[in-house]
Structure 1
């Protein structure tokens, strides 16, 4: 179980760190997606900071700071529920798999961290 926790959590960290960087850099696909779901571009740095904080918290959770990891996973789950909801609200379904995938990773990290 610990191996699964580490693998899933490291994958979640890398995924969130990667998309946070894309958000900070306002990559073309990020801007296009945010525009499509009706998200103001000036929100991107704040949302990137939340994703980066979640990744950092999960990384701390891999150490002896388990409670930080659980809190970070909870935050990411809530964040990506909001992202999926934004896609549904805007009726943008063609790429809902991306926030759904991040939500699945965050949820798996939360379940495995809580079971630790």
Structure 2
């Protein structure tokens, strides 16, 4: 979805003031996160690091939303929702 972002993602990135020249970095970050999570199924340390990286990504996204005062529905559902989900996955993975 980052290669050709749908309207709600474009609006979100524009709303927080993320420069379009840098949108490609999100593709790299998301590919690395996905690879880390997949490898982490067999290598626990990599999975933990990838999960923490995903949480840091969403913390940075939340900070960008707050800083830009772009705290509408996208912020509450997508950004904070995925931050909560990522954190829950980390907590559950450490508990098991």
Q: Render the CA deviation track for 1:25-83: whole Å, top value 9, x for unaligned.
A: 23322222111111111222211221222122112222x21111100001011110000
1:80 to 47, 55, 58: 58
User: In the comparison of the two structures, how many residue pairs are matched?
Assistant: 94
* Correspondence for 2:82: 102
Tell me, in whole angstroms, the C-alpha distance in 2 between the residues paired with 1:74 and 1:81: 10
1:70 to 48, 60, 65: 48
Describe how 1:37-76 pairs up with structure 2 within 5 A: 37-62=16-41, 64-76=42-54
Alignment of 1:25 with 2:4, yes or no, is yes
Unpaired stretches in structure 2, ≥5 consecutive residues: none
Native 8 Å contact 1:66 1:113 kept in 2: no
1 or 2 for the larger relative contact order (CA 8 Å, sep ≥6)? 1
How far 1:104 moved relative to its partner? 1.2
